[in-house]
Structure 1
Amino acid sequence: MWEHARHSTTSTTAPSSTSQLRLMYVVDREDGIRMRTVCQRLASAPPTVTRMCDRLQAIGFLERVACPDNRREVALQLTPTGKEHLKRIRDQRDTMLHQAIDNMPPAERRALATGLASLQSQLNAAHGEEHRSDDHSAA
């Protein structure tokens, strides 16, 4: 769905790869994130992330700034144009999702709702177990 929304944007300057889009999502969630942290989050080598940043900066979606506490490090932030691009993709994704669900027969919608509720319960249980084991290891 993300890919379809990304490809259906009308912008001629849209990121050309899923990796660039993932980088934009990471930066959008943590404005001013350090380049080193982005590399860790994406599990990518610094030269790869640098090239993606070069491309995104060239099309006006991203800017690099010096970190306030360590001027030798680089922080990343989306430009208003970059934020607008992500908003367009999210809006298109939401529209596609709503249309697909609206087109489903009622029985399939109920099955989807049941399956998603079950998935959420499992994720909550796993998340709770994760925190409980973290609490025990700290004690």
Structure 2
Amino acid sequence: MERAGPPDDSAGDLASQLTAAAEAVVATWTQATRTASPRLSALQLEALLIVRRWPGINLTGLAEEVGAAPPAVSRLCDRLEAAGLLRREPAPTSRREIGLVLTLQGNELIDALFARRHEMFAAVLSRMRPAERRQLLSGLLAFARAAARPGGVDADRELPG
């Protein structure tokens, strides 16, 4: 069976090139996180982002989302609560269930992180030609859509386009 496209356009070759190029994107993305105060681990940041996306999520739901055991997530939430970024509150539907919500400080931290990421990406994008920026966006959106399809890495996430 013949492959479509020239030999240097194989999925394996492209995957190697993409992996190398993605390192610059990931480095820019994570550099913004390093400037956050208080400094957060990747898991702490992921937990805050999930709680922001789904205010009122309970510990079990958060544990499923981050792929950790509920006791470990409870300790994680204890630390985030002690830092003033997260609070536990009774769920409106059941007094026995506890939901998680970001505090004002937690929301401000995430807003500042998003602004820093935007600033850093804008600086890099400003060094690219307009056609390259459009190509980059087109390629990344296509990649995101493919990843969101059944069997993709992000099958549960809805993406634009």
Judge same fold: TM > 0.5, yes or no.
Answer: yes
Distance in 1 of aligned mates of 2:71 and 2:78:
10
Q: Is the 8 A contact 1:64 1:77 kept in 2?
A: yes
TM-score calculated relative to the size of structure 2: 0.67
SS in 2 for 1:103: coil
- What is the RMSD computed on CA atoms of the aligned residues? 2.2
Over 3 Å counting, the alpha-carbon distance change for 1:121 and 1:31 in structure 2 is closer
Over 3 Å counting, the alpha-carbon distance change for 1:16 and 1:113 in structure 2 is closer
TM-fit CA distance, 1:34 = 1.3
- 2:117 corresponds, among 86, 89, 93, to 93
Over 3 Å counting, the alpha-carbon distance change for 1:114 and 1:69 in structure 2 is closer
Q: Which amino acid aligns with 2:34?
A: H
Give the unaligned 5+ runs of structure 2. Answer: 1-27, 156-161
Aligned-residue identity in percent? 35
Distance in 2 of aligned mates of 1:109 and 1:40:
36
Q: Is the 8 A contact 1:3 1:18 kept in 2?
A: no
Of the two structures, which has the highest relative contact order with CA contacts closer than 8 Å and spacing of 6 or more?
1
Distance in 2 of aligned mates of 1:120 and 1:57:
33
- 1:8 corresponds, among 30, 35, 39, to 35
Distance in 1 of aligned mates of 2:111 and 2:140:
25
Distance in 2 of aligned mates of 1:80 and 1:118:
35
Give the unaligned 5+ runs of structure 1. Answer: 131-139
TM-fit CA distance, 1:106 = 4.9
Distance in 2 of aligned mates of 1:114 and 1:68:
42
SS in 2 for 1:16: coil
Indicate whether 1:30 and 2:54 are aligned: yes
Distance in 2 of aligned mates of 1:32 and 1:47:
18
